[in-house]
A and B are shown apart, each in its own frame.
Chain A
Amino acid sequence: MLQSLASLDGHTLILLCLSLGIALAFEFVNGFHDTANAVATVIYTKALRAGTAVVLSGLCNFLGVLLGGIAVAYSIVHLLPVDLLVSVNSNLGLAMVFSLLVSAILWNFGTWYLGLPASSSHTLIGAILGVGLANAVREGLPAGAGVNWHKAVEVGLSLFISPIIGFVLAGGLLLALQRLLKNPALHRPPQGDAPPPPAMRAALILSGLGVSLAHGSNDGQKGVGLIMLILIGILPGVYSLDADLPSRETAAVRQAAARFTDYFDAHRLEIDKAYAKGTIRELPEKSSAVNCDVHGAVAASEAIQHQLALYESIAAIPAGERWELRTDILCLDDAARIMQGLSGNAAERSEIEQLRQTLRRPTEYAPSWVIMAVSLALGVGTMVGWKRIVVTIGEKIGKTKLSYAQGASAQIVAMATIGLADGLGLPVSTTHVLSSGVAGAMAAHKSGLQMRTLRSIAMAWVFTLPAAMLLGAGFFFLFTAWL
């Protein structure tokens, strides 16, 4: 890496440092934005002392990023259509990266400063959608081509459904706890300076740490995805493909490409029919992006096999040729995705999915130093966040109460919901999941429906998402004119 840095000119080096700094700042801000949610219950219930809770939460966020994998990171990256992803090493790509970063950090920091409810997930996703749509307008493409809508719907559903799951399950868990645990002390807010009963205390601490771990995993990966876009854009020769991919897996990529050649050859007639019927649409010729379409799949597949036959490993491929291989892999994967959608056979769709995963393996990775840097930014941000809590003396603060059982129910459900989303590679708003869990536990306890929670979640959809889209699109137009 140091060797590649030394070969950069001053301007690019500044651009790289600036963009990495902004991406890490996004994670840091995310950390201190969410500290209150992560530790509120354990500190309020006196399950842990504030200092201990904040340090442990920071450590769990750190570990969550380290252990969380990268499926969520690439779910975010693939919101952008493949045409934009394969042009990321151009000025257009740099404009895309900077638009995303600047809009996300401006909105995240601005809403925190003004005390407005916001969701970093909605912010980031809104900025990505805005950039994708702005690029489509700029290229004269239909709006449908600007975003990977298949992925956008998947991510949108995940963001929409996860708070509902949190609300219903936390309410259900509280009702179950009320039937199973008859000790009335567990269903009252904390009194005096005594900690919760030992078993409840353990449940509160473990679920609280679990929420921090899951938060680190899901939110940290958003930063990992952003940093990978930056690195691929600025140092494509080094980061466009995973140079550490074992030879065995490289051979599997070559085999997957060969299987796709056979598949596309065997389905030539169906492809022609799909084009004729308009099921697969030809996109207009573009000026700046690479054209990826189903017609070009066999050529891309053969190019991949040819490249991988020449070299034993990705590391052996000269830096200048790695970009072309990445482009071919992403183009073939996109064509395979379209064919996967056309196939009426479930077994065939599943087989294509497995082959696509193998094929994408060299393009979906994150170096350990990236994961470590994001872990540190999020972990330190979480620890700093507690110090930055501003107390506003008023009516609301005096009315807010939470019983041990309500806190534990909300945390256990949030931990499980966010963990499940991690496993499925889907981003969720950790704040929304946890808050809706608290709202569900309060509603089940007949403490009333928290309209403020509903309002905050609604604000993220009707306010943050469109605002981030507009910011992302605006900065994209600005930067493409400037760069």
Chain B
Amino acid sequence: MSQEAIDQFLAWLQADKDRLLLVGGLPLDELAAYAAAHGFVFTVEELKARQALVHLVEGT
């Protein structure tokens, strides 16, 4: 599911500020594992690709 799973995971995080704070400092592999444990399956590379796209769109 990858990118859709990232969307769903972000929506799930944003629904609860405590969850968002909890993952704020996690290394990427732990973040992906945390997401997988809650049913959102994506890889670290897919998450980085989404961040790279943000850089591309923002021109940074």
List the interface of chain A (C-beta within 8 A of B). Answer: 35-37, 39-41, 43-44, 46, 49-51, 115-118, 189-193, 386, 389-393, 395-398, 400, 402, 431-432, 434-436, 438-439, 442, 450, 452-453, 456-457
Contact = CB atoms under 8 A, between A and B. Distances in A.
The interface residues of chain B, by DSSP majority, are classed as: helix
Given A193-B1, A398-B11, A456-B60, 16 more contacts: A36-B52, A37-B56, A39-B52, A46-B2, A50-B45, A190-B2, A192-B1, A389-B48, A389-B55, A391-B51, A393-B20, A397-B51, A400-B54, A435-B56, A436-B59, A456-B58
A258 B10 CA distance: 72
B59 A43 contact: no
Nearest to B58: A452
Given A193-B2, A398-B14, A438 B56 contact: yes
B13 interface: yes
A401 to B, nearest CB: 8
Interface of B: 1-4, 6-7, 10-11, 13-14, 20, 23-24, 28, 31, 45, 47-60
Nearest to A39: B52
B51 A450 contact: no
The interface residues of chain A, by DSSP majority, are classed as: helix
Given A189-B3, A393-B23, A435 B47 contact: no
B51 A435 contact: no
Contacts of A39: 52
Contacts of B60: 115-118, 431, 456
B55 A37 contact: yes
A395 B54 contact: no
A36 B51 contact: yes
18 contacts: A36-B51, A41-B56, A118-B60, A192-B1, A192-B4, A391-B47, A391-B50, A393-B10, A393-B23, A396-B58, A397-B54, A400-B57, A402-B53, A431-B60, A435-B57, A452-B58, A452-B59, A456-B58
